[in-house]
A and B are shown apart, each in its own frame.
Chain A
Amino acid sequence: MKRTPLYEVHRSLYAKFTEFGGWEMPLQYSSIVKEHRAVRDAAGLFDLSHMGEIDITGDGANELAQKLTTNDIRRLTDGRVQYTLLCNENGGIVDDILIYRHVDNDYTLVVNAANIEKDFEWIKHHNDTGAEVSDVSDETVLIAVQGPRSMDILFSVTPADLAYDIKPFQFYVDQVAGHTVAISRTGYTGEVGFEIYLKPKNAEDLWDTLYEIVKEEDGLPVGLGARDTLRLEAGLRLYGMDMDENTTPYEAGLGRFVKLDTDDFIGKEVLLAQKETGELKKKLVGFQMLDRVVARPGYTVYQNDEVIGIVTSGAPSPSLNCNIGFASITPNSGNNIEIDIRGKQYPAKIVKVPFI
């Protein structure tokens, strides 16, 4: 298993570890519920260095970036970030990513940990524009601070007023605690927050600086356990669970990130047809259990004793005090479903996402 440059720091904080996408990552430091609440009420500090970074630069980068992604690259200006999808020729999702535009013909793609090699090969394979493509994942550490106090925390470590000016999905390069970093107002928790990209050699120093401030603000270091419940409550999909290469953006409920009036991109024809006919094989929906039982990924979804789908994500919601999840089911199934839990069907209702 791969380890991030902050592995020893996590050990010194008594983290419990888990395998995720080939990485040995902190699952929790104290308790998933405590860490979850810290992010909702104060702040949480995350090591997300398992995420991958792929640069696309030089002549042809604009063209290649559009060819690979479903969102409209023309709407992305310098210093901004866009959530977008890599799709295959069938419209299936290869990965969901963030794309950062530094300047014209200069992009960084932030990809899921389990997909780094797949995406890198995919991008190189489809590179016919002459752009330079490089995997800089091993040279990049990603530390996130998320929660209502996170902007105050950022303000206390940056010299400029920039911290308060930074808008959602903007980023800039600056000094933080003496290190040159890229600061991005992005996250995966449904809270205000920022993410910092930097070189591995500075990782421990920056983590320690942020850790002290986060603690003073009643925050906690947060592992992947709470990251999962936070993103679920916020209605954010997880690649490999809620979508995969056999799921189109429309089937994943991500249609708003597909812009069909752009130049051609891989998968566009299929997605155009799916949009026109409105015929989906399945549809991702949010559900809430009516009982106290917890629906977990892989459980079967029924309606009137007929199988209509499968649970893709499911957990107790620490904020709502009920059990929630995503299920991929037959479209237009109505609002009442049953989920098979240990051989017995329990009722659930389809609800709007985000859950909070």
Chain B
Amino acid sequence: MIPENLRYNESHEWVRQEEDIATIGITDYAQSEIQDIVFVELPDVGTQITQETEFGVIESVKAAFDLYAPVSGEVIEVNESLLDAPEQVNESPYDDGWFLKIKMTDTNELDELLDADGYQAHIEAEHA
């Protein structure tokens, strides 16, 4: 259910690492809790984002949710297709619904994140 090859933070963002490039999105659990995503506000290419700080906003029918950076770095690509089709985040949170690619400043930050088992435990604790 929770992909083994990704890292997670407690605010439900995931990171896929390819050398010093990190792709960021939100988890399947997060999208199912948020539901009905109608708008995603993301930073421009070139923006510096910092671990654990806000980098964007998701709007659902019901409310707005802040997005928190799982790692720090410079935004090198933004998933522009979400502008016209934000529902991809609901439909395909780990693939088509990705948000950003960033060039990480420090790949050691990845070690501070949860692995799939840790994230599973975190969800269960939140639900308890």
Contacts and interface: CB of A to CB of B under 8 A. Distances in A.
Contact of A316 (B38, B41, B83): B38
A315 B35 CA distance: 14
Interface stretch (A26-34, A167-175, A186-194, A235-243): A26-34
A342 B61 contact: no
Given A293-B41, A294-B38, A316-B38, A32 B64 contact: no
B61 A292 contact: no
Contact of A32 (B36, B39, B83): B36
Interface in B41-61: 41, 57, 59-61
A229 B57 CA distance: 21
Interface string A312-325: 00011010000100
B63 A31 contact: no
Interface string A246-285: 0000000000000000000000000000000000000000
A352 to B, nearest CB: 23
Nearest to A317: B61
Contacts of B35: 28, 31-32
Nearest to B90: A31
A315 B61 contact: yes
A223 B61 CA distance: 13
B127 interface: no
Nearest to B66: A342
A33 B86 CA distance: 14
B64 A225 contact: no
B90 to A, nearest CB: 9
B36 A33 contact: yes
A294 B59 contact: yes
B39 to A, nearest CB: 5
Interface in A290-335: 292-294, 296, 315-316, 318, 323
B63 to A, nearest CB: 7
A27 B34 CA distance: 12
B36 A31 contact: yes
B66 to A, nearest CB: 9
Interface residues of B, number: 13
Contact of B62 (A32, A293, A342): A32
B33 to A, nearest CB: 9
Contacts of B83: 292
Interface in A214-230: 225, 229
B61 A318 contact: yes
B36 A296 contact: no
Contacts of B63: 296
A122 B36 CA distance: 40
B61 A293 contact: no
A292 B85 CA distance: 12
Given A32-B36, A292-B39, A229 B64 contact: no
B39 A294 contact: yes
Contacts of A294: 38-39, 59, 64
A225 B61 contact: yes
Nearest to A30: B35
Given A32-B60, A36-B61, 19 more contacts: A27-B62, A31-B35, A31-B36, A32-B35, A32-B61, A32-B62, A33-B36, A225-B61, A225-B62, A292-B39, A293-B59, A294-B59, A296-B64, A315-B61, A315-B62, A316-B39, A316-B61, A323-B38, A342-B57
26 contacts: A28-B35, A31-B35, A31-B36, A32-B35, A32-B36, A32-B61, A33-B36, A33-B61, A36-B61, A225-B62, A292-B38, A292-B83, A293-B39, A293-B59, A294-B38, A294-B39, A294-B59, A294-B64, A296-B63, A296-B64, A315-B61, A316-B59, A316-B61, A323-B38, A342-B41, A342-B57
- In the A-B complex, list the 5 residue pairs whose CB atoms are closest, starting with the nearest: A316-B38, A32-B61, A294-B59, A33-B36, A292-B39
Interface of B: 35-36, 38-39, 41, 57, 59-64, 83
